[in-house]
A and B are shown apart, each in its own frame.
Chain A
């Protein structure tokens, strides 16, 4: 299993948003997260990435397995596209950024400062970062925002290639990426009853 989640509960800003989640992800499989705004897609992805602790339950994965791509692209405006990509490649111990540049058709933008790129171009560059991390499990939060149809198709192809190489992905999206994937409806994991997470201060001052 690339990733196993058992009875996971997580909260955002002290409010419990997800409860009792269990699922498993095999290598080569993808999972699409769906749910209305505020249903906990970002919270779940950030919890899985280890950026915030869970309230309860367990996430089991290989160490250093997750590559997280959030709403922001993690790019520096004053550096060129290539410099940005090279930096992340260096951080994740990769050296070859060629395939990532090719997969996203970024060759012509290589030497342009990122601040001069359009939102869609930045997004493509931000997603190309995933390919240079070399991590097996991609956690993607609304990856197709500001991408045009062609880039969405390119991105779908990149995810399919990643899955084909035994990687896996969890994607929060409302766009059809033409990926063979299971869908997880987050509404089913909405907490029942009192929605407020236990706050240690509340008990102390009661």
Chain B
């Protein structure tokens, strides 16, 4: 299982692996927003948590269609499916590697980009924590979507449409945590729900994704 994880990390870092793509996209979204909505700092402060969360969510989507499609195209998925390690574990390892190469860098970059959006000072910690707890759910739900659409050419479109509604609860509680935190209140409830979504997704979706992969391999 760790072999899959480390291989995916190595592939992401090597040339053309797509590491950094999510980060650059996130940067672009966040830097363009002040140009579009105007330099009014109070307005920016109000929308900053939401923009940061939407930016992170869309950046996460960007690399999802490659998650299983590349392995299918080069035949690796067939061999992984016949390996002694269960396909569920392969899915979990690949989702974890996806999170480390997208969700984690986005989480770490968010405070710096928060400055660009005039994020409230006491929201920085909450925002980072909410992304840290919420982005694993984005990777795992996305892995499920990628498994469903792995057999399709240019499946990215369908993948986005399938996954976006499933992302809504994560987005609501994630942005809520950062927003409540910005007002100086404790955002524990939203964070607990966010963590619950991530844990539930990690517990259930690898099985669903592995089942979808098996059907798509036929």
State the A residues within 8 Å of B (CB): 46, 49-53, 64, 66-68, 70-79, 83, 87-88, 90-93, 126, 129
Shortest beta-carbon distance from B90 to chain A in Å: 9
Which of A71, A75, A91 meets B3, CB within 8 Å?
Answer: A91
The 0/1 profile, CB within 8 Å of A marked 1, for residues 81-105 of chain B is 1111100000000000000000000
B11 touches A73 (CB 8 A): no
B217 touches A52 (CB 8 A): yes
A68 touches B82 (CB 8 A): yes
Which of B4, B14, B17 meets A91, CB within 8 Å?
Answer: B4
The 0/1 profile, CB within 8 Å of A marked 1, for residues 141-176 of chain B is 000000000000000000000000000000000000
B74 touches A50 (CB 8 A): no
Residues of B1-50 whose CB lies within 8 A of A? 3-4, 7, 10-11, 14-17
Using A52-B218, A76-B11, A78-B16 as known contacts, say yes or no to A67 and B82 having CB atoms under 8 A apart: yes
User: Shortest 3 CB-CB distances between A and B: which pairs?
Assistant: A72-B75, A90-B3, A78-B14
Using A74-B74, A76-B11, A90-B3 as known contacts, say yes or no to A68 and B84 having CB atoms under 8 A apart: no
A61 to B60: give the CA distance in the assembly, Å.
42
Is B76 in contact with chain A by the CB < 8 A criterion? Answer: yes
Give the residues in chain B near A93, CB-CB below 8 Å. Answer: 84
A83 to B9: give the CA distance in the assembly, Å.
13
Give the residues in chain A near B3, CB-CB below 8 Å. Answer: 87, 90-91
Q: Which residue of B lies closest to A12 (CB)?
A: B218
- Decide if the interface of chain A is mainly helix, strand, loop or mixed: loop
Q: Which residue of A lies closest to B17 (CB)?
A: A78
Shortest beta-carbon distance from A156 to chain B in Å: 22
A78 to B18: give the CA distance in the assembly, Å.
12
Give the residues in chain A near B78, CB-CB below 8 Å. Answer: 46, 49, 51, 68, 70, 72, 74
A88 touches B82 (CB 8 A): no
Is B183 in contact with chain A by the CB < 8 A criterion? Answer: no
A51 touches B218 (CB 8 A): yes
A79 touches B217 (CB 8 A): no
Give the residues in chain A near B16, CB-CB below 8 Å. Answer: 78
Using A76-B11, A91-B3, A91-B4 as known contacts, say yes or no to A51 and B75 having CB atoms under 8 A apart: no
B79 touches A68 (CB 8 A): yes
A74 to B16: give the CA distance in the assembly, Å.
18
Which of A46, A71, A87, A91 meets B85, CB within 8 Å?
Answer: A91
Give the residues in chain A near B11, CB-CB below 8 Å. Answer: 76, 78-79
Using A72-B75, A74-B74 as known contacts, say yes or no to A91 and B80 having CB atoms under 8 A apart: yes
Which of A71, A74, A79, A88 meets B10, CB within 8 Å?
Answer: A79
Give the residues in chain A near B217, CB-CB below 8 Å. Answer: 51-52
